[in-house]
């Protein structure tokens, strides 16, 4: 599993392999990594070993330092080779994600067990602090150029348009805004960030596709993709602080 984690990670970084059967290379990489960690913990539990003074002697410290130095040198070699050869991995973002330039090529991804929602835009209403907004109401001229960086290993910088969130609010009370999806997925934001959040109905000038959160999704510049709530159904003001939520969504 360790070898598989390293090989799939190398394939992911270089961009030479996007999928392994029905799974993405990222899914294989993460799955093997988690499996290796669990197997290691089980091994340590079943075969406990007492600490020995020799574990921290000079020779072992030098070996560990050499291993780290070798790993660093290999990393520099790989990064330099990617730049020289022009492989896809050379254009990775600082997060390691690969670029998708064409808005039509953005994958339809969702969190955990969520499924792509197919919503009739003409009937869909978004409840925002006691008021109902139709998609036609939200299909405004507010635009933002923002980068969606998905934890699945890709990113895209596009123009998103719709309505800036603060234009839909008629209250300044509370500490946080809770944005919910039709799937039950949710994220919490500081209420003062309403001026930098968008309810997007269009992507690159076109109606937002179902797989990308249509008919309306949240756009959160500067945050990773799991903050960009898809298929928004409601937004509530809450007195709890914005940090009152799991670091990563659990549903």
pLDDT tens for each residue of 160-184 = 999 999 999 987 788 999 999 999 9
pLDDT of residue 250: 72
pLDDT of residue 4: 95
| CATH superfamily of this structure's domain 103-238 | Oxidoreductase, molybdopterin-binding domain (3.90.420.10)
pLDDT of residue 239: 93
Q: Percentage helix, strand, coil, to 5, in the chain?
A: 35, 25, 35
**Mean pLDDT across the stretch 217-226?**
95
pLDDT tens for each residue of 48-106 = 888 877 778 888 889 999 999 999 998 888 888 888 887 778 878 888 888 899 999 99
* pLDDT bucket at 200, cuts 50 / 70 / 90: very high
Helix axes 2-14, 58-85, angle to 10 degrees: 30
Q: How far apart are CA 139 and CA 232, in angstroms?
A: 14
Where exactly are the structural domains of the chain?
A: 2-93, 103-238
Question: Among the residues of 18-98, which ranges form H helices?
Answer: 25-46, 58-85
Q: What percent of the chain shows pLDDT beyond 70?
A: 100
CA angle, 63 as apex, 59 and 69 as ends, to 5°? 140
Q: Taking 70 as the threshold, does the pLDDT of residue 251 lie above it?
A: no
């Amino acid at each position: 599993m360790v070898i598989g984690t390293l090989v799939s990670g190398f394939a992911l970084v270089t961009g030479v392999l996007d999928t392994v059967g029905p799974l993405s290379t990222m899914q294989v990489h993460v799955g093997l990594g988690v499996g290796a960690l669990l197997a290691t913990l089980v091994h340590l539990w079943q075969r406990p070993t007492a600490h020995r003074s020799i574990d921290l002697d000079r020779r072992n410290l030098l070996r560990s330092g050499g291993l780290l130095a070798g790993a660093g040198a290999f990393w520099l070699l790989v990064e330099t080779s990617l730049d020289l050869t022009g492989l896809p991995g050379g254009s990775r973002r600082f997060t390691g994600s690969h670029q998708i330039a064409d808005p039509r090529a953005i994958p339809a991804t969702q969190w955990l067990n969520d499924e792509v929602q197919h919503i009739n835009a003409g009937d869909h209403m978004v409840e925002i602090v006691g008021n109902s907004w139709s998609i036609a109401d939200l299909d405004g001229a507010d635009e933002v150029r923002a980068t969606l960086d998905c934890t699945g290993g890709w990113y895209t910088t596009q123009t998103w348009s719709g309505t800036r969130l603060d234009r839909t609010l008629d209250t300044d009370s509370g500490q946080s805004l809770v944005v919910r999806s039709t799937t039950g997925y949710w994220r919490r934001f500081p209420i003062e960030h309403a001026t930098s959040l968008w309810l997007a109905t269009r992507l690159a000038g076109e109606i937002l596709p179902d797989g990308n959160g249509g008919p309306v999704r949240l756009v959160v510049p500067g945050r990773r993709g799991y903050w960009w709530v898809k298929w928004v159904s409601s937004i509530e003001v809450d007195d709890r602080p914005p940090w009152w939520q799991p670091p990563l969504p659990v549903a």
